[in-house]
Structure 1
Amino acid sequence: MNKVYGRIVGLFLLIVLISSAVIYFTVDINTITNLYMFKPWSVIMAILAMIIGLVLDGTRLMHMVRISDENITLEQAVQVVFGNYFLAMLGPGAAAGAIAQVMFLRKAGIPGGKAAVLALVRTLVSIMFLACCLPFIFLHDEGILPGVSNDLMVYVAGSVAVLMVLLAYGIKKNAFDYLAVIITKKLPRKWSRKFVEMYRDSKEAVKLLASSPLSMVRVFFESGLSLIFIYMIVPFLMLGLGVSVDWLTVMGRMMFLNILLYFSPTPGGSGIAEGGFVYLFSSSVPSGTVGILAVSWRFIAEYLPFFVGLYYTITVFGKSVLNKDLDEEESA
């Protein structure tokens, strides 16, 4: 069995195991009673919010491609978005998703070098939006990390946001070139090549961000709007349980959780996402429902797009793409 098929099977088993464990350890005597009151219309609203968010994700990608003096259609952009969901679930963090984005962008006629930079920019802009929101999230909500002072969290989050800006400015001004050379010389050959490629793409990404400031401001807010709609899945599901939703708190905690998932070492953040959700929202929903809510959120937000991404991957590249090694595709 090749690696892609093996990872799909492994992911399926992991999802079943984690979902079963989350539900098992969070149900209680009140679960059935509370679920009996659930309103099906909330699922429709959650799926609609996800669709709007993913379409906005596609349009922002179109605008980023246009900044790079290339063009793709909305259909091609949506294929990139869903392809990202497919491979992102098969690898840790955002690495595998970036491979999918490059594959689909190259198929759409974008040169390989630009495709890699655009994939990086797409991720960076989302992280930048969430990083800018973090200080305000911690100012509003003191219950995210009990035992840690709110002032400290605001200071840390603000420092991270400023550091990201300074880092981007330093890269643009070639301030880290000498340090990059030193690091490259100390790394093994295999890793030094990957580091050079990553640093080169980062420089190109920063240049692209700075090349059209007004257009990037539009992309920045479009990215935020896309994420907000996707995170609205959770409050809509909560409304279905008859919960009085504090939208600012719920959306803030979803932003906090999802920025952590960008750096998750597990495929698609599996395990960390569900555990983090239970931790953050166990006191916000009726007794015994937080685990089921966590699994429902993951199914709508991640697993449905995963299967659509699988469909697009086979449709665009053929079934033979599943016989390829992801590591080989990354180095292609």
Structure 2
Amino acid sequence: MNQFTKLLTITLGISFISVFLIFVFVWDRQTLDLILGMRMEFIFGALLLHLLSFVVWGLRTTSMSKAIGYNVKFLDAIEIVTSSVFLASITPSSAGGEPLRVHLLSKRYMPVGKATAVVVTERLLDAIVILIASPIAVYFLRGRINDPRLDILLLAGVGIMFAVIFLLGYSVKRPGKLANFIHISAGAFSRFTGKRAFIRNLPHRIEKEIGHFSQCSHDFINEGRRGLFFGMLFTIIFWVLEFSLIPALLLGLGSEPFFLYAFATQVLLFILLIVPATPGSSGIAEFGATTLFSTFVPAYMLGVLVIIWRAFTFYINLLIGGLVSFKILHDSDLMGEILNKKPD
């Protein structure tokens, strides 16, 4: 069993067990009536909102690529982003999706350094939107969440986001110093692990990509500001669509939409999912959602809401992302190479 299969098995296993436990613990006599009385037009509406977010994501990629001089076809952009969600769904912090998007963009349209800048800047815009929204979310949920373990995970998520933003900013401002730091860290790591052959050429490759990323970031700031503007606009629209899933599902379950609480809890939930604890954040997503949604959703409704939400944002991603990925990569084993890369 290769690494790819192991990750998929672990991810699905943890998710299935988590969903089962949640459903068992929150099951109530009212739950069956709730399921039988669901308004399917709102449930399908929620699914359409999630699928529409892929379209907006594709528009973001095309607009940001165009800003640095590369015309990425819209349908290709949608293929690229949908294929990446499969790998993102089985790797911690969704980190596996970025290398795949970089590869596909560089294979079809632009140098690796330029593609890296587009993909990383997209991730940075996501982080900025969530960080701006997080204090607002905390304000609306003040006094409703009393779980110290959740506080620790949220702090860890915020810390990771700030660290990534700092490193990205530093790589743009001082690429040489960051490269030196990578050389020193790689040398210490190689001595500690004994993997000198694997580490030997890694700093040079990273240093080269840091230079490309730094130059491309300057292009965004100087000539590509229009691309950054539309990138941020599409980022906001993307998250509004994604966060609208819970209100739509609540309407489908016969409840009020609770827009403010739904948006606030999902902002904090996204921060939780950044913590690289499990592949695809399985377990953390289910139990985190249960804890956060319980602040405004009755217990008998909670299990159904979490299961449908997870089905749309995780299992649908696996299905669609898997189909598109294997359509694009049927003649190669790129995903396996990314996950199974061995030391030289």
**Band of TM-score, shorter chain:** 0.7 to 0.9
The runs of 4+ residues in structure 1 deviating greater than 6 Å are: 155-166, 329-332
Aligned twin of 2:60: 60
Match of residue 274, structure 2, among 262, 284, 289:
262
Aligned twin of 2:306: 294
Q: Distance in 1 between matches of 2:221 and 2:92?
A: 29
- CA offset at residue 251 of structure 1? 0.7
Q: Distance in 1 between matches of 2:265 and 2:147?
A: 17
**Amino acid aligned to 1:258:** F
Q: Distance in 2 between matches of 1:330 and 1:292?
A: 42
Q: What SS does the corresponding residue of 1:69 show, helix, strand or coil? A: coil
Matched, 1:186 2:188: yes
Q: CA RMSD in A?
A: 3.3
What is the number of residues matched between the two proteins?
326
Could you state the TM-score of these two structures normalised by the residue count of structure 2? 0.81
Contact between 2:84 and 2:100, CA under 8 Å: does it hold in 1? yes
Cα distance change of structure 1 residues 5 and 243 upon mapping to structure 2, 3 Å threshold: same
Structure 1, 225-234 or 21-30: larger mean CA deviation:
21-30
Matched, 1:31 2:31: yes
- CA offset at residue 275 of structure 1? 0.6
Aligned twin of 2:74: 74
Using the aligned pairs only, state the percent identity: 21
**Amino acid aligned to 1:251:** F
- CA offset at residue 90 of structure 1? 2.1
Structure 1, 16-25 or 139-148: larger mean CA deviation:
139-148
- CA offset at residue 4 of structure 1? 2.5
Q: Distance in 2 between matches of 1:64 and 1:159?
A: 27
Aligned 1:120-199 pairs, distance under 5 A: 120-143=120-143, 145-146=145-146, 169-174=169-174, 176-177=177-178, 179-188=181-190, 189=196, 190=198
Could you state the TM-score of these two structures normalised by the residue count of structure 1? 0.84
Contact between 1:35 and 1:289, CA under 8 Å: does it hold in 2? no
Cα distance change of structure 1 residues 95 and 201 upon mapping to structure 2, 3 Å threshold: farther
- CA offset at residue 43 of structure 1? 0.9
Structure 1, 48-57 or 161-170: larger mean CA deviation:
161-170
Matched, 1:272 2:284: yes
Contact between 2:157 and 2:275, CA under 8 Å: does it hold in 1? no
Contact between 1:5 and 1:322, CA under 8 Å: does it hold in 2? no
Aligned twin of 1:116: 116
- CA offset at residue 187 of structure 1? 2.9
**Amino acid aligned to 1:112:** V
Q: Distance in 1 between matches of 2:286 and 2:161?
A: 26
Aligned twin of 1:207: 218
Cα distance change of structure 1 residues 200 and 266 upon mapping to structure 2, 3 Å threshold: farther
Structure 1, 244-253 or 1-10: larger mean CA deviation:
1-10
Match of residue 236, structure 1, among 248, 264, 272:
248
Aligned twin of 2:324: 312
Cα distance change of structure 1 residues 213 and 22 upon mapping to structure 2, 3 Å threshold: same
Contact between 1:238 and 1:245, CA under 8 Å: does it hold in 2? yes
Residue by residue over 1:188-237, the C-alpha shift from the partner in whole angstroms, topping out at 9 and shown as x without a partner, is 25468667766765661643542423321221121121111012111110
Structure 1, 320-329 or 223-232: larger mean CA deviation:
320-329
Q: Distance in 2 between matches of 1:88 and 1:160?
A: 17
- CA offset at residue 40 of structure 1? 1.0
Contact between 2:86 and 2:322, CA under 8 Å: does it hold in 1? yes
**Amino acid aligned to 2:221:** A
Q: Distance in 1 between matches of 2:288 and 2:333?
A: 34
Cα distance change of structure 1 residues 303 and 180 upon mapping to structure 2, 3 Å threshold: same
Contact between 1:127 and 1:259, CA under 8 Å: does it hold in 2? no
Aligned twin of 1:4: 4
Q: Distance in 1 between matches of 2:338 and 2:171?
A: 29
Structure 1, 231-240 or 132-141: larger mean CA deviation:
132-141
Q: Distance in 1 between matches of 2:307 and 2:227?
A: 37
Q: Distance in 2 between matches of 1:11 and 1:166?
A: 30
Q: Distance in 2 between matches of 1:159 and 1:124?
A: 14
Q: Distance in 2 between matches of 1:303 and 1:129?
A: 25
Matched, 1:100 2:100: yes
Contact between 1:87 and 1:99, CA under 8 Å: does it hold in 2? no
Cα distance change of structure 1 residues 286 and 120 upon mapping to structure 2, 3 Å threshold: same
